[in-house]
Chains A and B, each alone.
Chain A
Amino acid sequence: MSGKLTGTSAVMLYLITAGMMAFVLCPIVLIVIISFSDGYFVSFPPTGFTTSWYVSVFQNPEFTGALLFSFVLAVGTTLLSLLLGVPAAFAIVRGNFPGRALCKGLLLSPLIFPVLITGLALLQLFSSYGWSTVKLNLLIAHTVVTSPYVIRTVLTSLELVNPSLEEAARTLGATRWQTFRRVIFPQIAPGIASGAIFCFMVSFDNYPVSMWLADSANTPVPVVLYRQIGTVFDPSVATMSSIIIGLSAVVVLALDRMVGLRRAMAM
């Protein structure tokens, strides 16, 4: 595409883009504003300015515990998804076995199943086998939901890697492992990173699966948030949400610094 839009069409395009951005960002901004509201109920416009909700939320062990639990769960889920997803993507792209297309479809299928149903199915599975370690169940369930994101992004970036790069490395004396580490990995690192970000975010704010599997001792933060809303509708809910939004932004920005997310997302 060459040339820039001018005149009416340009103005229209800017308006539509601005409208979309407002649509996406407004609720988030609203929540952040409310979190500083000096009132006992959620109301807009806010009735004053206070940071006291932040103080009280951080003094709430139920919330901080859940926040830490969700963070650890999301990190664990991401690592496990990478461990399973990267080799799986590699096998699908470079492997030469019958049923590759079917394999790919099955591995990506959790993306199109309703997550609520996946969670229920896993609950039934775990209870029928009598698996009662909630932490492990949550880790497995989250990985089922998130691993397709890694597989998808790594698949895409692997497909762009010219196979003769591997062949060149091999003829130059590299073993398979050296070829992966020195030639393939640097090519697909942005894909792995963006997959990891998706994993982290999907796990961190997952409600529909956690809802079925969590118990009172192991509660991810979205479940705590939902309970809180059910009990009392004060600005602390908005405060908790703001903290989650901030934490997510920090993780995304950190990964961006590390591997260049813009490059990864552009693929």
Chain B
Amino acid sequence: MESVEVRLEHLTKEYNNSFVAVDNVTLTVGAGELLALLGPSGCGKTTCLRMIAGLVDPTSGEIVIGGKPITKTPVHRRNMGMLFQNYALFPHMTVAENVAFGLEMRKFSRSEREDKVRKALDLVKLGHLADRIPSQLSGGQQQRVALARALVIEPSMLLLDEPLGALDKSLREQMQLEIRHLQQRLGLTTIMVTHDQDEALTMADQIAVMRAGQMEQIASATEIYQRPATQFVAGFIGASNFFEAEEVSRDGRRAQLVTTSGIPLDVTNMRLVTKRVMVTIRPEAITVRPLGAEDPVAAPNTAVAVVEQVVYRGFMLHYYLRMDDGTEVIAYRQTQTEGWGPVSAVGDRVRISWDADSNHVVPLVAEAAAA
């Protein structure tokens, strides 16, 4: 199978000339890469995927696969493998007949079909279930059959529409790794729709975060978590603490800021030119210590807060804190490390602090746009 590059150029979908589901989306998925379209429900990610599949006609824009525009190609000639959330297996056909369906449409001879079906089912480790009907299979097995059915036609690319949403957590994680492994082995360019950030982080080479039909950020998993481009991305992928802050002084990329509640911040990567910005800090970057008398009162990147709630979440302790001016702060502390036990009880005043490198700056969203 030859890997192809997939490009979306200014892809737009309007419904009834009023509601814009997908607004001028442009992106490139490298050959053999897996891109996850991530976003809250209604953000346009599914519409995007369905336009690539040919199930929805774009209002404008172009879809280019392997250098060839396919926007006008009807769905049944696009040669795409697609997985659906509810598996969409044909209930009146056996597993083998399901997998053979695409080959029949392509007029393969019976012997070729049998051969290819057997290989495809072996690929997903279901060769022994060829004669079952879908309702006799578990959810995970059904989605594997759907995967075999999609792969057997040797598609130019794979489209996954929340394929694991109906499975329970541990099976979902196993299938994520399995699909990812298969996708990499076959070098199959893949676009996946998900609202599950863990799934996107686990499986994707690139994550495209969408919001209200528009692309917020496209980047690798590390990049998107460490350096979110916007406040929305910072809040949607993982949790974040947000402080609105104003620049006091700047020296190259280093800067001194002060938050609206008066906390001085040292920033090592002041990448914006605006004076007023939003600073995001990941909860796991914040250290919680009992309040000591020797602490300097106004050192940068520290603050005093009251513990409102401590939640034990297995490998993490979650501290819900409130600063004196009412700002809420979340801090995570890893468990199972030396002396991890709760350092503070509810109602204690604590010192919170973090590294200057943990301060990440994103544009301040105007009130109107935020609403």
Task: List residues of chain A with CB under 8 Å of any chain B CB.
Answer: 162, 164-165, 167-175, 178, 182-183, 186-187
Contacts and interface: CB of A to CB of B under 8 A. Distances in A.
A208 B240 CA distance: 74
B264 interface: no
B82 A183 contact: no
B101 A172 contact: yes
A109 B253 CA distance: 74
Contacts of B106: 173
Contacts of A162: 86, 88
A170 B75 contact: yes
A164 B76 contact: no
B76 A173 contact: yes
Given A162-B86, A162-B88, A186-B92, A171 B101 contact: no
Contact of B81 (A167, A170, A171, A187): A171
A175 B78 CA distance: 12
B90 interface: yes
B84 A173 contact: no
Interface in B168-220: none
A168 B53 CA distance: 10
Q: Which of A167, A173, A182 has the most CB of B within 10 A?
A: A173
A173 B88 contact: no
B84 A172 contact: no
B105 A167 contact: no
B80 interface: yes
B128 interface: no
A168 B105 contact: no
Contacts of B159: 171
Interface in B140-155: 146, 149-150, 153
B75 A171 contact: yes
Interface in B40-85: 53-55, 75-82, 84-85
Contacts of A170: 54-55, 75-76
11 contacts: A164-B86, A165-B90, A167-B55, A167-B82, A168-B88, A168-B89, A170-B75, A171-B54, A173-B77, A174-B105, A186-B92
B144 to A, nearest CB: 15
Nearest to A189: B92
B171 to A, nearest CB: 21
Given A168-B82, A171-B76, A172-B153, A182 B101 contact: yes
B88 A165 contact: yes
A174 B54 CA distance: 13
A170 B85 CA distance: 16
B102 interface: yes
B91 interface: yes
A184 to B, nearest CB: 10
Contacts of A165: 88, 90-91
Given A168-B149, A171-B76, A175-B76, 10 more contacts: A167-B84, A168-B90, A170-B54, A171-B53, A171-B55, A171-B75, A172-B150, A173-B102, A183-B90, A187-B92
A185 to B, nearest CB: 10
A69 B84 CA distance: 51
A172 B106 CA distance: 9
Contacts of B89: 168
B88 A167 contact: yes
Contacts of A167: 53, 55, 82, 84, 88
A232 B272 CA distance: 103
Contacts of A164: 84-86, 88
Contact of A173 (B92, B146, B153): B153
Closest 10 CB pairs of A and B: A173-B105, A172-B102, A168-B88, A164-B88, A171-B82, A186-B92, A164-B84, A170-B75, A173-B76, A174-B105
